[in-house]
Amino acid sequence: MFECQILFLFLGGVIWENQTLVRLCFLRGLNAIAFVAGSLYSDKKARGFNDAMSKENQDQKTWKTQVKTVGFRETAIGFLRDRLLRENEKERVDKLIRRLSKYEPQHEIVNLLRTNPVWQQHADELILELPEVTSDPEIHFIFQGGANVPKIPILDENRLFFGCGEYFYALDAETSNVIWRLHNPGKSWSIAHLSEDFLYVCSGGKLHALSSFDGSERWRFEVGKGLSAPFSHHDKVFVGSEEGTLYALDAESASRLWTFNVVKSVSVAPGIWQDKIFAVSKDHCVYAIRMDDGECLWHFATDSKIYGVPHVTDGVIYLTSADKKVYALFAASGQLIWSFTTGGEIYTSPFEENGLLYVSSRDRHLYVLQAEDGKELWRYKTLGYPSSPTACRGMVYFSAQGRVYGISVADHKMRWCFPLGFSVATSPVVGQKRIYSGTLEGKLVCLKLKTKIDEQGATQVIREFLDPEPEDHSE
């Protein structure tokens, strides 16, 4: 035991005298450990890289073997249908599609993409953007409302809001199930306006602010005369009356902010430009009114009554009149840009999309004009008086004599005409592969647009799949 104590003291003395040496050994030990760990990591990384290269080489061998066995076409088809590639391997898919497209029907390639879970959603989204130009629609549902013709509905993603007779409805747009409804005995409802989570609608001389979720009333505003369809923007609600007064109300409290008066009944257009709203009156005029204080900035007079609702877009206001004319005005000044004369009175509203202006006239024609200068591009003759048109994804829709029409914008030909079974049909409202139109006996008809992918449509899908438009980062 004594010898051990002597040895311990001796070693302690040596260590104390050689602290620098000990620290040096310790640091060298750490370096050695780090070197070993780094070597192990490098070996693992190298093995991972080698495994990836081995897998890629194996894929290449498998691909070549299958091509030799069944040919390129069958191998490529199986690859697109079954291989679950990741998004970062899309370049390989694109090269394969380009090669296969040289001799394979385009719609077959699209069908292959739709069967592969990785690309199915992207392909389906592109198909949804195709024009509805292929096959006849079919009835998806018929909703039975009140006794009158339903007002033109407001579509909000998966909900419909509209008045019909004494009732106002909120429906599921896909199933027609009633979400909620209101009843105002002996009174009808105007066309509604939806702003965020609130609906504004008039009935019996009262403007109602309703929750879009359950129909509960936030506030109401009442006047002595009937009110037209309302419009809201930010913190204000605007509504015209039969007595010729346009009201501006606070959207939170319904308190009156200002009024603007004309001689005859007035209604507000659902659109703004800069600080102006636009109102039309049975005195043949359209008025530009400053939203903040109700001051009239300019007005423009037509030669007859204005029945339709003006369309405001990109600094231009388009309006129609019973004087048979279509007008384009600068929204800032009211200066006339151009006018176009049809063959009959116009009681409908114009619609602009992608530089084209669509107008229906009582001469039983749908006119398509160049929005920039009013030049007529083409017209389509109908059997009856066409309703206000709407355009979407390469098609223009309208109703006439109880039928809903679908006309191709590209070749100006009717793709389909669907009879609703009555002599009256309201202007159609277009949703995602759905069209809604009201008719007699309180019926709201939903048509389902069937999409059959032809070669032209499939070519467009493949083009967008291979070369999507670059995102705009200018803002």
Rg (CA), the chain: 35
Q: What is the DSSP secondary-structure string of 146-194?
A: SSSPPPPPEEETTEEEEEETTEEEEEETTT--EEEEEE-TT--B---EE
The answer to whether residues 15 and 77 belong to one domain is no
Which pLDDT belongs to residue 121? 80
The answer to whether residues 87 and 54 belong to one domain is no
The answer to whether residues 65 and 75 belong to one domain is no
The neighbouring-strand residues paired with 279 are 268, 287
The answer to whether residues 84 and 113 belong to one domain is yes
Domain boundary among 70, 105, 124: 70
The answer to whether residues 40 and 100 belong to one domain is no
Which pLDDT belongs to residue 62? 67
Compute the distance between CA of residue 133 and CA of residue 454 in angstroms, rounded to an integer. 10
Which pLDDT belongs to residue 135? 60
Identify residue 259 by its one-letter amino acid code: T
The reply to whether 269 falls in a domain is no
Compute the distance between CA of residue 26 and CA of residue 64 in angstroms, rounded to an integer. 57
Which pLDDT belongs to residue 11? 41
The reply to whether 474 falls in a domain is no
The reply to whether 283 falls in a domain is no
Compute the distance between CA of residue 46 and CA of residue 65 in angstroms, rounded to an integer. 28
The reply to whether 47 falls in a domain is yes
Which pLDDT belongs to residue 14? 41
Span 412-438, pLDDT tens digits: 999 899 998 888 889 999 988 899 999
Identify residue 14 by its one-letter amino acid code: V
Domain boundary among 70, 89, 119: 70
- Judged on CB neighbours under 10 Å (0-12, 13-18, 19+), 420 is buried
Identify residue 183 by its one-letter amino acid code: H
The reply to whether 100 falls in a domain is yes
Which pLDDT belongs to residue 10? 42
The reply to whether 48 falls in a domain is yes
Compute the distance between CA of residue 103 and CA of residue 322 in angstroms, rounded to an integer. 56
The answer to whether residues 113 and 64 belong to one domain is no
Which pLDDT belongs to residue 37? 47
Which pLDDT belongs to residue 246? 96
Compute the distance between CA of residue 16 and CA of residue 5 in angstroms, rounded to an integer. 16
The reply to whether 382 falls in a domain is no
Domain boundary among 70, 92, 107: 70
Compute the distance between CA of residue 17 and CA of residue 9 in angstroms, rounded to an integer. 12
The answer to whether residues 110 and 123 belong to one domain is yes
The answer to whether residues 18 and 40 belong to one domain is yes
Identify residue 392 by its one-letter amino acid code: C
Placement of tokens 């620290």 in the chain: 23
The answer to whether residues 37 and 85 belong to one domain is no
Compute the distance between CA of residue 323 and CA of residue 304 in angstroms, rounded to an integer. 5
The reply to whether 180 falls in a domain is no
* pTM given for the model: 0.74
309-334: string of b/e by CB count within 10 Å (b at 16+)? bbbbeeebbbbbbbbbbbbbbebeeb
The answer to whether residues 13 and 50 belong to one domain is yes
Residues in the chain, pLDDT under 50? 1-27, 30, 32-37, 40-41, 44-46, 49, 52-53, 133, 471-475
Domains: count for the chain: 2
The answer to whether residues 25 and 60 belong to one domain is yes
Q: Which domain holds residue 95?
A: 71-133+453-465
The two three-digit tokens of residue 67, written as one number = 């091509």
